[in-house]
Amino acid sequence: MLNLDAIFKGKKITQMGLGLLGRGIGDAAFLARHGADLLVTDMKTEEQLVDALQALKQYSNITFHLGGHKEEDFCDRDLILKGAGVPLDSPYIATARADGRHVVLGGNVRGVSNLTLLETIQEDSFGVFELDSWQCQGFGEEHTLRVEGILQGPISPQVAVFTTFMPDHLNYYKNDLDAYLRDKVNIFLHQSPSDTLVVGTQALPALEKYKKSIKAHVIVADEKTVPTSWKLRLLGAHNRFNAGLAVAVARSLGIDDEVIKTVIENFAPIPGRLELVRAVHGIEIYNDTNATTPEATIVALTALTAEVRKGGVILIAGGADKGLDSSTLIPAIQKHTKKCVLLAGTGTDKLLVEEPSLGCEVVTSLEEAVHRAYQYAEEGDAIVLSPAFASFGMFTNEYDRGEQFIRLVAELT
């Protein structure tokens, strides 16, 4: 096991972003526990981060600079730990680089600090990580992941999975879809011939331009990779597609099909992804808050109408615009929904400009949206929160949106 105290004790580390989801808290606690001289800086104020500060109050070796970043906090540091949503061209990261420092990326699983896994990981352990484009962007940096010679970039995992490629986060990428793709392909671009790349069929056209750069053994997978006799608990063809990629990975690791079948057939829906919250008077209510793109909402509506519904679907959607094309959502709403209630926001405004006669009701709170949807629903119908847009403005994040939805649904009688 690594001697983590020897690695981190006395090191001057700046953590850029504490956040509200638990990952930042876990990272800070990990570094403090192993003796780092830690400085945490965040754009949020002390009042906004009160719960996080309470969780870390036992550590005397953490200094907090809140309510904004200062350039001097990124100078003369041994290590900079940046949040996944912080771009590598941030002026503060640029300051750290100019000062000769290196950047370590965090994880992307709610409430889980990846750094704390170092305390338990063994040489023969498997690490499974869900990585977004912001995290993959650092994989291509020559010095991004160097910590005392343990981690060195550029890197890619031994087994990489590229599921699909659809527009997202274009507000972050300034409407440059190629820049978004360039970050994502770092997940496989630095693999070796002994590594494995599993690619979903949907992503193949997008990856064509990188075909000559792929060194790993490539496995193409989709829903057909899952034997038709295997019964999934997950709704929708998109989930069978995802399961196909998981099956391909497991087989590449030499896992027996009987073991894979048992796991796949018993895998329960993940919270926030077509999660059945409850049924009330024959009305099934689903939480799909993680659907923050039009494409995600379209597959949710398709799944519900194809596999579940005896009646109709009442959709709760809307929110903040991320610079995505929402026009494809219009025919899906018209085809698959009985009623549609939209949360006010810039994305909703954009959608209604594209189709003023869409016939959706716009409300200013989630509570009102839930009550209106419930009024419209009849026995055999389904209500689904599948926003298609971002949560910022009305909610802290998509998880907050989902948790509020679950609380409101619990109160329905």
The domain that contains 284 carries what CATH number?
A: 3.90.190.20
Examine residue 188 and state whether it is found in any structural domain, yes or no. Answer: no
Q: Which of 27, 65, 35 lies closest to 49 in space, CA to CA?
A: 65
Residue 71 and residue 18 in contact, taking contact as beta carbons nearer than 8 Å? no
In 10 A of CB 212, how many CB atoms? 7
Written as one letter, the residue type at 135 is Q
Give 104's pLDDT tier (boundaries 50, 70, 90).
very low
Same domain for 148 and 10? Answer: yes
In this structure, what CATH number is given to the domain that contains residue 145?
3.40.50.720
Q: Choose the final residue of a domain: 135, 155, 175.
A: 155
User: Average pLDDT, stretch 116-127?
Assistant: 73
The 8-class DSSP code of residue 226 comes to S
137 lies in the same domain as 5: yes
Count of domains forming the chain: 2
Q: Is 256 a domain residue?
A: no
Domain boundary among 122, 155, 188: 155
The upper half-sphere exposure of residue 34, i.e. CA atoms within 13 Å in the direction of its Cβ, equals 19
15/143 same-domain check: yes
Domain co-membership, 4 together with 137: yes
Q: List CB contacts of 248: < 8 A, sequence separation 6 or more.
A: 198, 219, 221, 225
Q: CA 383 to CA 141: how far, in whole Å?
A: 45
**Phi and psi torsions of 306, nearest 5°:** -85, -35
Instruction: Please indicate, yes or no, if residue 168 is contained in any of the structural domains.
Output: no
Task: Decide if 233 is inside a domain.
Answer: no
Q: Are residues 146 and 3 both part of a single domain?
A: yes
Nearest to 24 by CA among 8, 5, 38: 38
Q: Is residue 234 part of a domain?
A: no
pLDDT in tens, 262-287: 989 988 888 899 999 999 999 999 99
Q: Residue 113: what pLDDT?
A: 76
Residue 236 falls inside a structural domain: no
Distance, CA of 162 to CA of 188 (rounded, Å)? 8
Report residue 109's pLDDT band, with 50, 70 and 90 as the boundaries: low
Q: Which amino acid is at 314?
A: I
Statement: residue 172 has pLDDT above 50? yes
Q: State residue 149 phi and psi, 5-degree precision.
A: 75, 5
Question: Are 296 and 150 in the same domain?
Answer: no
| Residues 4 and 143 occupy one common structural domain | yes
Structural domain for 88, as ranges = 1-155
Q: Which of 139, 155, 171 is the last residue of a domain?
A: 155
Question: pLDDT tens digit string along 60-79?
Answer: 999 999 988 888 888 888 88
Residue 147 and residue 5 share a domain:
yes
In a domain, 30, yes or no: yes
Q: Over the stretch 336-361, which tens digit does the pLDDT of each residue have?
A: 999 999 999 999 999 999 998 898 99
For range 24-51, the mean pLDDT: 92
Residue 194 within a domain:
no
